[in-house]
A and B are shown apart, each in its own frame.
Chain A
Amino acid sequence: MTKHLIGLGLLLAAGIAYPAIFPNNLTIAISVLLFAGWATSWDLLGGWNGQVSLGHASFVGLGAYFVAIGQSQFGLAPWWTMAMAAAFAAILGYFWGWLTFSLRGPYFSLSTIAVAEILRLVAINEDWLTGGATGVFIATLPEPFGIDLFSRTAQFYMALAFAAVVIATVIVISRARFGFQLRAVREDEDSAMAAGIDPTATKLKAFMLSAALTSIGGGIYGIVLAFIEPHVMFALLLSVQIALTAIIGGRGTIWGPAAGALVLVGAGEMFRTTFAEANMLIYGILILVVVLFVPRGIVGELARRHIRRLYAKRAQS
């Protein structure tokens, strides 16, 4: 665990220096960091616990809408609305999980698509609150300690803090009892019960934590965009991108989702500037490559080889 926390510390230090070195590449870096945080949050449920969600855009959207509506209609500062969004996301996760976790197999995944769809329809139709299809605009933001939250640098640091907190959470959980419960339920629910684990309670906890963390990143995303539209926030494409980022990077690994974010967002951006719409092609090709050759994802495959090498070495000595 210390090894991973030191690694995270080093990356954090590099991240803090980043805006000074690349002041013109902040938007893409924010995108990478938000996706790293979202995919890592997704992975708590999807990778560590094996419950694949295709509705995580719901929680991104909740976070963004809470921040935007809180600010524009009630004058609430983003840190309060982010905390509220996290609580609301956890409650939503609890009820959705309570309804659907008895469904085994692909049914849970399919049902999660509906969550985002319901929220999208609510956002479009309840325009007294959400501005309807037009969306909400964040015109003013508070300035804590004189920091302008509209500046890309401030937003970069928020995204950096978000990604770091989420990854640190996973590092701690991976070593703790909860991390073992998550993986046991993923591997075999009956065998987990034989170890005294309540599978449904475990899945609910994972879903609630995953949803809450994702919504905090969603709040930051709202600030970054400053203009929130329902068909962007609750889009199936966003849900799929979050899931794919984690899957391609390596499900159920500490660094996989973050690596996936770097590869997918980075490559996607590079190719988008050169080939316009070709970023969808990159997704397609990457998915194909991962499914065919590295089904455990990039980091998952590296970790597996490492464990085997380690074991082979111990067996020899």
Chain B
Amino acid sequence: MPNVLRADGITVKFGGLTAVNDVSLSLGSGEILGLIGPNGAGKTTLFNAVTGFAPMHSGRITFLDQDITGLPAFKRTRLGFGRTFQTERPFEELTVLENVLVAAFLTVGRRSEAERIARSVLEQVGLADRAHQPALDLNLARRRRLELAKALAVKPKVIFLDEIMAGLNPPALREMIAFVRSLTAQGLAVLMVEHIMEAIIELSDHVIVLASGEKIAEGTPHQVTSDERVIEAYLGTD
């Protein structure tokens, strides 16, 4: 499988604290990579370093054979990154449609074209009937779907999902899992940070487990969930 994204030896430091230490990962098109680990393991920090939202101390990132280390986040988006935020960040004063239009305008300049893209993405995530609602008024599950819509409207080649399953009720969770799977069918590569094991096990082709900023295990979902170091990191030793 051709590599879409490669990150080698990513290290992120905050002052004297090493939040992520020498972690590497790679991701092919149509593949889902799950990133798990206990709280404070450095998942979101790694995620932000790869997407360009947090500065790295050292490491190298290549995307479609292009070195993008040090490129600002908005330029990574232009190359084909799409991301959601852990705490949803809609443009609150804008309507649902306008939120997605902002992203759709990345690839097209004409309003009518952008609107066509935005409406088709809203259709895809099931928010078409909410198009004219102020984004501020959406409930949690719909805000999540709006985050997804914004990430998809930039027409990404790789999409980064930061805990989009958290807090969803069981039916909404099932829907979201099915939706993420449908993304890979279009050849999209997915990197997801997730706490919900059900989603990780069901979706991931490959899982990386972080603890205290280090990669402690890597493999298929079943390999890592039976790994002793992983169980130890989650449950502790006696």
A→B interface (CB under 8 Å):
175-177, 180-181, 183-184, 186-188, 190-199, 252, 307-308, 310-311, 314-315
Do residues A252 and B132 form an inter-chain contact, with CB atoms below 8 A? no
Classify the secondary structure of B's interface with A.
mixed
Show 29 residue pairs from A and B whose CB-CB distance is below 8 angstroms, ordered by the A residue: A176-B111, A177-B105, A180-B101, A180-B102, A180-B105, A183-B91, A183-B93, A183-B98, A183-B102, A184-B102, A187-B91, A187-B92, A190-B85, A191-B85, A191-B89, A193-B72, A193-B74, A194-B73, A194-B74, A194-B82, A194-B83, A194-B85, A196-B74, A196-B77, A196-B103, A196-B154, A311-B132, A311-B134, A314-B132
The interface residues of chain B lying within 8 Å CB-to-CB of A314 are 132
Identity of the chain B residue whose Cβ is nearest the Cβ of A198 in the assembled complex = B74
Cβ of B140 under 8 Å from chain A: no
Most buried by B among A192, A194, A308: A194
Among candidates A177, A180, A197, residue contacting B98 with C-beta atoms closer than 8 Å: A180
Quote the shortest CB–CB distance from B104 to chain A (angstroms).
9
Classify the secondary structure of A's interface with B.
helix
| Chain B 77-111 interface 0/1 with A at a Cβ cutoff of 8 Å (1 = within) | 11000110100011111110010011101100101
Among candidates A181, A199, A311, residue contacting B102 with C-beta atoms closer than 8 Å: A181
The interface residues of chain A lying within 8 Å CB-to-CB of B90 are 191
Identity of the chain B residue whose Cβ is nearest the Cβ of A177 in the assembled complex = B105
Q: A263 to B99: give the CA distance in the assembly, Å.
A: 32
Chain B residues bordering chain A, tally (CB within 8 A)? 33
Q: A308 to B93: give the CA distance in the assembly, Å.
A: 12
Do residues A308 and B132 form an inter-chain contact, with CB atoms below 8 A? no
Do residues A188 and B133 form an inter-chain contact, with CB atoms below 8 A? no
Identity of the chain B residue whose Cβ is nearest the Cβ of A304 in the assembled complex = B134
The interface residues of chain A lying within 8 Å CB-to-CB of B83 are 194
Quote the shortest CB–CB distance from B93 to chain A (angstroms).
6
Quote the shortest CB–CB distance from A294 to chain B (angstroms).
15
The interface residues of chain A lying within 8 Å CB-to-CB of B153 are 195
Cβ of B234 under 8 Å from chain A: no
Quote the shortest CB–CB distance from B202 to chain A (angstroms).
26
Identity of the chain A residue whose Cβ is nearest the Cβ of B153 in the assembled complex = A195
